[in-house]
Amino acid sequence: MPKTQFTDAIALLKADHRKVEDLFDKFEKARSNKQKIAEEICNELKIHAAIEEEIFYPSFRGKIEDDVLNEAYVEHDGVKVLVNDIASGGDDEFYDAKVTVLGEKVRHHVHEEERRGDGMFAQVRKTEVDLVELRDRMMARKQELMQQAKSGGLPPAQLAVVQLAA
Protein backbone atom coordinates (compact mmCIF):
# COMPACT_ATOMS: atom_id res chain seq x y z
CA MET A 1 0.00 0.00 0.00
CA PRO A 2 1.88 3.10 -1.20
CA LYS A 3 1.94 6.04 1.20
CA THR A 4 0.68 8.39 -1.51
CA GLN A 5 -2.59 6.43 -1.56
CA PHE A 6 -3.69 8.66 1.34
CA THR A 7 -3.49 12.44 1.11
CA ASP A 8 -2.57 12.88 4.77
CA ALA A 9 -2.65 11.27 8.21
CA ILE A 10 -6.37 11.85 8.65
CA ALA A 11 -7.16 10.20 5.32
CA LEU A 12 -5.10 7.17 6.41
CA LEU A 13 -6.98 6.91 9.71
CA LYS A 14 -10.36 7.34 8.02
CA ALA A 15 -9.49 4.55 5.58
CA ASP A 16 -8.69 2.33 8.57
CA HIS A 17 -12.06 3.28 10.10
CA ARG A 18 -13.95 2.29 6.94
CA LYS A 19 -12.05 -0.99 6.67
CA VAL A 20 -12.84 -2.07 10.21
CA GLU A 21 -16.48 -0.95 9.89
CA ASP A 22 -16.73 -3.16 6.80
CA LEU A 23 -15.22 -6.06 8.75
CA PHE A 24 -17.79 -5.64 11.52
CA ASP A 25 -20.56 -5.66 8.91
CA LYS A 26 -19.04 -8.80 7.38
CA PHE A 27 -18.89 -10.45 10.82
CA GLU A 28 -22.55 -9.64 11.51
CA LYS A 29 -23.64 -11.23 8.21
CA ALA A 30 -21.33 -14.25 8.37
CA ARG A 31 -22.63 -17.74 8.96
CA SER A 32 -19.15 -19.29 9.04
CA ASN A 33 -15.52 -18.19 9.45
CA LYS A 34 -16.59 -15.71 12.12
CA GLN A 35 -13.46 -16.34 14.17
CA LYS A 36 -11.24 -15.58 11.17
CA ILE A 37 -13.08 -12.29 10.58
CA ALA A 38 -12.83 -11.44 14.28
CA GLU A 39 -9.07 -12.12 14.21
CA GLU A 40 -8.74 -9.74 11.28
CA ILE A 41 -10.75 -7.11 13.17
CA CYS A 42 -8.49 -7.54 16.21
CA ASN A 43 -5.29 -7.19 14.16
CA GLU A 44 -6.60 -4.12 12.35
CA LEU A 45 -7.55 -2.51 15.66
CA LYS A 46 -4.21 -3.32 17.31
CA ILE A 47 -2.32 -1.76 14.41
CA HIS A 48 -4.61 1.26 14.20
CA ALA A 49 -4.42 1.92 17.95
CA ALA A 50 -0.64 1.60 17.88
CA ILE A 51 -0.12 4.20 15.14
CA GLU A 52 -2.58 6.57 16.78
CA GLU A 53 -1.08 6.20 20.26
CA GLU A 54 2.59 6.12 19.22
CA ILE A 55 2.51 8.83 16.55
CA PHE A 56 -0.79 10.63 15.90
CA TYR A 57 -2.10 11.49 19.39
CA PRO A 58 1.26 12.62 20.85
CA SER A 59 1.70 15.00 17.89
CA PHE A 60 -1.33 16.97 19.05
CA ARG A 61 -0.87 17.07 22.83
CA GLY A 62 -1.11 20.75 23.77
CA LYS A 63 -2.40 21.67 20.30
CA ILE A 64 -5.99 20.38 20.64
CA GLU A 65 -8.25 19.96 23.67
CA ASP A 66 -6.64 17.64 26.23
CA ASP A 67 -10.06 16.19 27.09
CA VAL A 68 -10.45 14.98 23.49
CA LEU A 69 -7.09 13.18 23.58
CA ASN A 70 -7.63 11.77 27.06
CA GLU A 71 -11.04 10.40 26.10
CA ALA A 72 -9.53 8.79 22.98
CA TYR A 73 -6.89 6.98 25.06
CA VAL A 74 -9.52 5.73 27.51
CA GLU A 75 -11.79 4.58 24.67
CA HIS A 76 -8.81 2.73 23.16
CA ASP A 77 -8.21 0.93 26.43
CA GLY A 78 -11.85 -0.20 26.57
CA VAL A 79 -11.51 -1.52 23.04
CA LYS A 80 -8.21 -3.26 23.83
CA VAL A 81 -9.72 -5.19 26.74
CA LEU A 82 -12.30 -6.68 24.37
CA VAL A 83 -9.75 -7.18 21.57
CA ASN A 84 -7.49 -9.18 23.88
CA ASP A 85 -10.42 -11.23 25.15
CA ILE A 86 -11.70 -11.95 21.62
CA ALA A 87 -8.20 -12.72 20.31
CA SER A 88 -7.71 -15.33 23.03
CA GLY A 89 -10.22 -17.66 21.37
CA GLY A 90 -13.72 -18.30 20.12
CA ASP A 91 -15.00 -21.03 22.45
CA ASP A 92 -16.78 -18.58 24.74
CA GLU A 93 -20.59 -18.56 24.55
CA PHE A 94 -20.39 -14.73 24.62
CA TYR A 95 -17.92 -14.54 21.70
CA ASP A 96 -20.37 -13.07 19.17
CA ALA A 97 -21.74 -10.65 21.76
CA LYS A 98 -18.21 -9.46 22.57
CA VAL A 99 -17.49 -8.77 18.89
CA THR A 100 -20.82 -6.93 18.59
CA VAL A 101 -20.06 -4.75 21.63
CA LEU A 102 -16.55 -4.15 20.28
CA GLY A 103 -18.13 -2.89 17.06
CA GLU A 104 -20.37 -0.53 19.02
CA LYS A 105 -17.40 0.85 20.96
CA VAL A 106 -15.34 1.31 17.79
CA ARG A 107 -18.20 3.04 15.96
CA HIS A 108 -18.62 5.44 18.90
CA HIS A 109 -14.88 6.18 18.93
CA VAL A 110 -14.84 6.76 15.16
CA HIS A 111 -17.78 9.15 15.51
CA GLU A 112 -15.92 11.11 18.21
CA GLU A 113 -12.81 11.43 16.06
CA GLU A 114 -14.62 12.28 12.81
CA ARG A 115 -17.38 14.53 14.23
CA ARG A 116 -17.60 17.79 12.26
CA GLY A 117 -16.86 21.02 14.04
CA ASP A 118 -15.33 19.96 17.35
CA GLY A 119 -14.27 16.33 16.79
CA MET A 120 -10.62 15.37 17.03
CA PHE A 121 -9.94 15.47 13.29
CA ALA A 122 -11.61 18.89 12.94
CA GLN A 123 -9.40 20.22 15.73
CA VAL A 124 -6.29 18.61 14.23
CA ARG A 125 -6.92 20.31 10.87
CA LYS A 126 -6.68 23.70 12.61
CA THR A 127 -3.13 23.03 13.88
CA GLU A 128 0.18 23.70 12.15
CA VAL A 129 1.22 20.02 12.27
CA ASP A 130 2.36 18.65 8.90
CA LEU A 131 -0.23 15.94 8.26
CA VAL A 132 1.61 14.60 5.21
CA GLU A 133 4.84 14.04 7.14
CA LEU A 134 2.78 12.49 9.91
CA ARG A 135 1.12 10.17 7.36
CA ASP A 136 4.53 9.01 6.19
CA ARG A 137 5.65 8.14 9.73
CA MET A 138 2.36 6.39 10.45
CA MET A 139 2.50 4.38 7.22
CA ALA A 140 6.05 3.23 7.96
CA ARG A 141 5.00 2.04 11.43
CA LYS A 142 1.80 0.47 10.08
CA GLN A 143 3.77 -1.51 7.50
CA GLU A 144 6.13 -2.77 10.24
CA LEU A 145 3.17 -3.92 12.33
CA MET A 146 1.42 -5.52 9.35
CA GLN A 147 4.58 -7.50 8.62
CA GLN A 148 4.80 -8.55 12.27
CA ALA A 149 1.14 -9.69 12.14
CA LYS A 150 1.88 -11.82 9.06
CA SER A 151 5.14 -13.30 10.27
CA GLY A 152 4.46 -14.18 13.86
CA GLY A 153 1.42 -12.38 15.08
CA LEU A 154 0.93 -9.30 17.17
CA PRO A 155 1.22 -9.44 20.95
CA PRO A 156 -1.81 -8.60 23.10
CA ALA A 157 -2.77 -4.92 22.98
CA GLN A 158 -1.22 -2.94 25.82
CA LEU A 159 -3.36 -0.52 27.80
CA ALA A 160 -2.25 3.09 27.44
CA VAL A 161 -3.83 4.64 30.49
CA VAL A 162 -1.99 3.89 33.72
CA GLN A 163 -4.30 3.07 36.59
CA LEU A 164 -3.43 5.16 39.63
CA ALA A 165 -3.56 3.47 43.01
CA ALA A 166 -6.43 4.65 45.20
Domain ranges of the chain: 3-150
Q: Supply the pTM of this predicted model.
A: 0.91
Residue 88: is it exposed, middle or buried by C-beta count within 10 angstroms (0-12/13-18/19+)? exposed
CA atoms within 13 A on the CB side of 164: 1
CA atoms within 13 A on the CB side of 52: 28
pLDDT averaged over the chain? 92
Residue-wise pLDDT for 9-56, tens only, equals 999 999 999 999 999 999 999 999 999 999 999 999 999 999 999 999
In this predicted structure, the answer to whether residue 88 has a pLDDT above a threshold of 90 is no
Taking residue 152's Cβ as centre, other Cβ atoms within 10 Å add up to 8
